[in-house]
Structure 1
Amino acid sequence: MYLPAHFAEQRPAELQRLVQAYPLGTLVNHGPDGLDAEHIPFEFDAGTGPLGLLTAHVARANPLWQRCPTGTPVLVVFHGPQAYISPNWYPSKHEAHRQVPTWNYEVVHAHGVLAIRDDERFVRGLVARLTRRHEAAEPQPWRMGDSAPAFIDGLLQHIVGIEISVTRLVGKSKLSQNKEPRDREGAAVRLDALDHAELAQAMRRTL
Structure 2
Amino acid sequence: MYIPDIYKNKNQEEIINFLQKNSFGILINQNEGNILATHIPLELEVTENGKQFLEGHISKENPQWKTFESDNQILAIFSGPHSYISPSWYDHENVPTWNYIAVHVYGKVKVLNYQETILSLKKLVDKYETNSKNPVRIEDLSGKTMRQAQGIVAFQIEITSIEAVKKISQNRDKKNHQNIISELEKTEDYNACQIAQEMAKNKK
Q: After TM superposition, is the score higher than 0.5?
A: yes
* Length-normalised TM-score, structure 1: 0.88
- Displacement of 1:108: 0.7
Corresponding residue for residue 107 of structure 2: 112
- Displacement of 1:47: 3.1
Corresponding residue for residue 101 of structure 1: 96
Partner SS, residue 190 of structure 2 = coil
Structural RMSD (CA): 1.9
Q: Percent identity?
A: 28
Off by >6 Å, runs of 4+ in structure 1: none
Provide the C-alpha distance between the structure 2 equivalents of 1:78 and 1:49, rounded to a whole number of angstroms. 24
The CA deviation string for residues 12-47 of structure 1, in whole angstroms up to 9 with x for no partner, is: 111111111100111110112422211110110133
Provide the C-alpha distance between the structure 2 equivalents of 1:172 and 1:51, rounded to a whole number of angstroms. 22
Where does structure 2 lack aligned partners over 5 or more consecutive residues? Answer: none
Provide the C-alpha distance between the structure 2 equivalents of 1:202 and 1:47, rounded to a whole number of angstroms. 28
Asked if residue 14 in structure 1 is aligned to residue 14 in structure 2, the reply is: yes
Provide the C-alpha distance between the structure 1 equivalents of 2:69 and 2:170, rounded to a whole number of angstroms. 41
- Displacement of 1:148: 2.4
- Inter-CA distance 145–190: structure 2 relative to 1 (3 Å threshold): farther
Q: Which residues in structure 2 correspond to 1:48-67 (within 5 Å)?
A: 51-67=51-67
Where does structure 1 lack aligned partners over 5 or more consecutive residues? Answer: none
* Segment of structure 1 superposing worse, 124-133 or 66-75: 66-75
- Displacement of 1:72: 1.0
- Inter-CA distance 73–156: structure 2 relative to 1 (3 Å threshold): same
Corresponding residue for residue 153 of structure 2: 160
Q: Are the aligned partners of 1:83 and 1:103 in contact in 2 as well (CA < 8 Å)?
A: yes
The CA deviation string for residues 91-132 of structure 1, in whole angstroms up to 9 with x for no partner, is: x2xxx3x12211111111111111111x22111111111111
Q: Are the aligned partners of 1:70 and 1:116 in contact in 2 as well (CA < 8 Å)?
A: no
Provide the C-alpha distance between the structure 2 equivalents of 1:82 and 1:67, rounded to a whole number of angstroms. 32
Match of 1:188 among 174, 181, 199: 181
Q: How many residues align?
A: 200
Corresponding residue for residue 115 of structure 2: 121
Corresponding residue for residue 74 of structure 1: 74
- Inter-CA distance 190–131: structure 2 relative to 1 (3 Å threshold): farther
Provide the C-alpha distance between the structure 2 equivalents of 1:70 and 1:203, rounded to a whole number of angstroms. 43
Partner SS, residue 36 of structure 1 = strand
Match of 1:204 among 152, 175, 200: 200
2:182 alignment partner AA:
V
